[in-house]
Structure 1
Amino acid sequence: MNHHQIELDLDHLEQVLARISGTDHIPLSYWRKRVDDVTAAVSIPAQKNRALRLNEALSALESRAAD
């Protein structure tokens, strides 16, 4: 994945994760795979920080959905 595509994916995931819940029609497992794929592809420190925040936000959603 190139730098530009990673930026686009990070932007998209940041927008989506700010708006979804555990009861949306797209399961959280789909978003987990997307976040994990982007996290594995990042190499720039700023992108790593963004991916870490996405992972934390998604983990919080997953935790709330499990309750």
Structure 2
Amino acid sequence: MNHHQLEKDIEHLEHVISHISAEDRIPLSYWRSRLDSVSLAALVPAQANRVKRLNAVLLALEERLKA
């Protein structure tokens, strides 16, 4: 994945994950898959930190869904 596409993907995930809930039409598993694919890319430290924050938010949503 090239640097520009990776940055666009992270930006998109930041936007979406900040607005979704466990009850949304698109299941959290879809966003988990998208985030996991970004996590596998070669990230610079700033991107890795952003992905880590996204992961924490998504994990919290997933936990709420389980409860």
TM-score tier, shorter chain, comes to over 0.9
TM norm structure 1: 0.96
Work out whether 1:8 is the aligned partner of 2:5: no
* Runs ≥4 residues deviating over 3 A: none
Q: Aligned residue pairs: how many?
A: 67
Structure 1 gap ranges (5+): none
RMSD between aligned alpha carbons? 0.7
**CA distance, structure 1, for counterparts of residue 39 and residue 6 of structure 2:** 9
**CA distance, structure 2, for counterparts of residue 55 and residue 31 of structure 1:** 10
Residues 7-63 of structure 1 show CA distances to partners (whole Å, capped at 9, x for unaligned) of 000000000000000110100000000000001113211111011111111001000
TM norm structure 2: 0.96
Question: How many percent of aligned residue pairs carry the same amino acid?
Answer: 57
**CA distance, structure 2, for counterparts of residue 42 and residue 49 of structure 1:** 13
Structure 2 gap ranges (5+): none
